[in-house]
Amino acid sequence: MIDLTGQVAVVTGASRGIGRAIAEKLHSAGADVVLVARNQALLKETSNAMGGAMVMPMDVSSADEVQVGFRKIIQEKGKIDILVNNAGITRDNLLLRLKEEDIQRVLDVNLKSIFFTSKNVLRPMMKQRKGRIINISSVIGLMGNSGQSNYAASKAGIIGFTKSLAREVGSRNITVNVVAPGFIETDMTAELPETVQKEMAASIALGRFGSTEDVANAVLFLASDLAAYVTGEVMNVTGGMYM
Ligand SMILES: NC(=O)c1ccc[n+]([C@@H]2O[C@H](COP(=O)([O-])OP(=O)(O)OC[C@H]3O[C@@H](n4cnc5c(N)ncnc54)[C@H](O)[C@@H]3O)[C@@H](O)[C@H]2O)c1
């Protein structure tokens, strides 16, 4: 049984979907969870369901908002032990039709944001000589997908970032890992055309889509002492869609 009692965990994109499941999982393992996302009302709802967890609304693609928000979290909680970078968006289109703003926004929210959030937790983690950073990428960052070049580039970028940071901070006992989910049943995947959903389902070895809890379980493992010697790793949670 994993026990995270006494540990402060910040989860971005925690208002719904995978982020919410991760927050609930860490909370049920005893962590003091701080919920980050844009939508205050949705955050409050998640917080209430978890018995009043701290919420910190921010746009993670804004360096200033992240700095201010994380300062407040550290002021209130005194430390951050676990950071889960989960916030992410899609703006799908074939490259020929992809607008510059859709390329920029996806890179900013999915990739640039993790530079900002990670930067703001490193000092407190270094000070206590312990930390866990877990970045949510995607199987699309490994396989690519037609119509998702911006998203795939952002998710592949997360992997390069993770491996580099893992080398930078390993000597301080901070681990940095990636969880790469496959096809998970959420609002994000519900938006995909039915034909794409069927194609993807046919390629999954376990023959079913994943649940948000499947992803949260992988995050819980990487956040725990059981994963103390795992860093710079990409853990695929794809049901064998990619191996
Ligand atoms: N759903 C899947 O099948 C799947 C598969 C692979 C990877 N992922 C990744 O998992 C993560 C969560 O996906 P989901 O399906 O739960 O998505 P979702 O759309 O249901 O939730 C996304 C969350 O991110 C937050 N968010 C978005 N932009 C933000 C911003 N600028 N600042 C702060 N918060 C912001 C939203 O408020 C929301 O809480 C994403 O990074 C996604 O790329 C999802």
CA angle 19, 89, 188 (to 5 degrees): 70
Q: Is 210 a member of any domain?
A: yes
Q: Is 183 a member of any domain?
A: yes
Distance in angstroms (rounded) separating the CA atoms of residues 150 and 43: 27
Q: Is 2 a member of any domain?
A: no
Q: Is 24 a member of any domain?
A: yes
Residues forming the active site: 151
Q: Is 243 a member of any domain?
A: no
Q: Is 242 a member of any domain?
A: no
Provide, rounded to the nearest whole percent, the portion of the chain with pLDDT above 70. 100
Read off the pLDDT of residues 192-234 as tens digits, 9 standing for 90 and up. 888 888 888 899 999 889 999 999 999 999 999 999 999 999 9
- Ligand 1 center from residue 172 Cα (angstroms): 29
Nearest CA, atom 42, ligand 1: 88
Give the residue, out of 89, 112, 219, 235, with the most ligand 1 atoms within 8 A of its beta carbon, to mutate for a pocket test: 89
Q: Is 3 a member of any domain?
A: no
pTM of the model: 0.97
Distance in angstroms (rounded) separating the CA atoms of residues 196 and 22: 26
Read off the pLDDT of residues 42-70 as tens digits, 9 standing for 90 and up. 999 999 999 999 999 999 999 999 999 99
Mean pLDDT of the chain: 96
Asked if residue 15 has pLDDT above 90, the reply is: yes
- Calculate the alpha carbon distances from 137 to 97, 179, 182, 202 in Å: 24, 6, 10, 22
Exposure b/e, 197-219, CB count within 10 A at least 16 = b: beebeeebeeeebbebebbbbbb
Q: Which atom of ligand 1 is nearest to the CA of 16?
A: 39
Q: What is the sign of the dihedral through the CA atoms of 27, 11, 191 and 202?
A: negative
Is the distance from the beta carbon of residue 63 to the nearest atom of ligand 1 less than 6 Å?
no
CATH number, domain containing residue 155: 3.40.50.720
Domain that holds residue 177: 8-237
Q: Is 223 a member of any domain?
A: yes
What is the count of structural domains for the chain?
A: 1
> Which whole number is the average pLDDT over 173-184?
98
